[in-house]
């Protein structure tokens, strides 16, 4: 992977104090020489703590901007002079959003449209949305709002007239991210019960470094309108618990509102316009036809009839050894392992 991709660029990350944003800022500053990296978020305390960690080493290249993606005028001010936007800001807690639906709509849908409008108005060259497997055949409001966000990003390429390019990366659970079952298990001791919603539950799992690699790969080749999906392993919740907390008490609490037993990253319908490019899949939009898409059709492989990418049937399985290796090195905010290109 080229280590010059972000050199001399001004990069802004919405939701930049979150798990991904925090890690990606460190990744960019460690491996590239950007002109400036701007963290946009509405949490002043997290920004303060993040600045304490990154300053004074990166003080000349790192800026913090308090703002909310619900506020278009604030975004237009923030996007002035920006080359690249990574749109990571979202409300993500599935159960909470089932009971607070309008908040999810205001941030994940209207906020995303504000990001699009501000980017086009300010002439931002590349804008990448971070999406989720929960948007695929969604049964919860979070997934439905992220599906809308994907549709908005794809359609925006028709309005930008090639001056701004909008693409998407879609992936599953990030190992060790805030609130994940892995973080919860590692934070407890042998006397802390492990809560499990359903014994058959499976999820896609990837590490922060895989997220960064996906973003870099997408940023390098994106034309606008594509959805990039990584090839990652799956693992059942019970397998995680048996590996990381074999002797701890297990408490089954039942499936939470809006929660699936298994997740899907590519549906059978999407598979008909998806190409296997080696390290990841590229889903082409049905609503756009851009000549540059031929590079995927010429170099990628089509998927077999009836193909779906589901966490239950996924042939890639995260091994016990890989899971233990990850947890032994677990320090998602500071470990050099995650910030080496």
Query: Would you please indicate which residues are annotated as catalytic (active-site) residues?
Result: 134
Closest C-alpha among 205, 203, 314 to residue 262: 203
DSSP one-letter code for 212: H
Q: 141 by DSSP, 3-state: which?
A: helix
What distance in Å separates the CA atoms of residue 295 and residue 223, rounded to the nearest whole number? 10
The H or E element containing residue 230 is strand 227-230
Q: How many CA atoms lie within 13 A of 5 on its CB side?
A: 22
- CA dihedral (129, 58, 3, 124) in degrees, to 10, reads 40
Q: Which residue has the tokens 């239950």?
A: 312
Total number of residues shown for the chain: 341
According to DSSP, the β-strands at 165-171 and 194-196 are: unpaired
Q: Is the dihedral of CA 104, 107, 110, 116 positive or negative?
A: negative
Distance between CA 178 and CA 45 in Å, rounded? 16
Tokens of 36: 């400036």
Q: How far from 218 is each of 54, 86, 228, CA to CA, in Å? A: 26, 11, 7
Please count the CA atoms within 13 angstroms of the CA of 139 that sit on its side-chain side: 10
Distance of CA 314 to the CA centre of its chain: 20
Indicate the helix (H) or strand (E) that contains 27.
helix 19-31
């Amino acid at each position: 992977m080229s280590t010059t991709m972000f050199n001399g660029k001004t990069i802004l990350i919405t939701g930049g104090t979150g798990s991904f944003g925090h890690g990606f800022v460190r990744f960019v500053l460690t491996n590239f020489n950007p002109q400036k990296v701007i963290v946009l978020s509405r949490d002043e305390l997290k920004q303060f703590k993040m600045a304490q960690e990154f300053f004074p080493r990166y003080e000349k290249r790192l800026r913090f901007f308090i703002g909310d993606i619900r506020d278009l005028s604030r975004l237009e001010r923030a996007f002035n002079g920006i080359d690249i936007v990574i749109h990571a800001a979202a409300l993500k807690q599935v159960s909470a959003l089932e009971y607070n639906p309008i908040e999810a709509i205001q941030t994940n849908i209207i906020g995303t449209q504000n990001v699009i409008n501000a980017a086009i108005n300010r002439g931002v060259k590349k804008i990448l949305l971070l999406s989720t497997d929960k948007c695929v055949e969604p049964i919860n409001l979070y997934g439905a709002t992220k599906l809308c966000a994907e549709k908005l990003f794809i359609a925006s390429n028709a309005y930008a007239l090639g001056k701004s390019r909008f693409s998407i990366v879609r992936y599953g659970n990030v190992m060790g991210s805030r609130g994940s079952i892995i973080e919860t298990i590692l934070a407890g001791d042998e006397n802390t019960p492990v809560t499990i919603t359903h014994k058959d539950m499976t999820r896609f799992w990837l590490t922060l470094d895989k997220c960064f690699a996906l973003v870099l790969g997408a940023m390098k080749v994106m034309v606008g309108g594509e959805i990039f999906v990584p090839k990652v392993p799956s693992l059942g919740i019970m397998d995680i618990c048996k590996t990381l907390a074999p002797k701890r008490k297990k408490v089954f609490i039942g499936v939470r509102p809006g929660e699936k037993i298994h997740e899907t990253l590519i549906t059978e319908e999407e598979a008909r316009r998806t190409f296997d490019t080696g390290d990841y899949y590229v889903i082409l939009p049905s609503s756009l036809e851009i000549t540059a898409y031929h590079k995927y059709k010429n170099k990628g492989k089509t998927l077999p009839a009836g193909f779906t990418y589901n966490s239950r049937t996924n042939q890639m399985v995260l091994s016990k050894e890989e899971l233990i290796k990850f947890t032994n090195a677990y320090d998602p905010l500071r470990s050099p392992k995650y910030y080496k290109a």
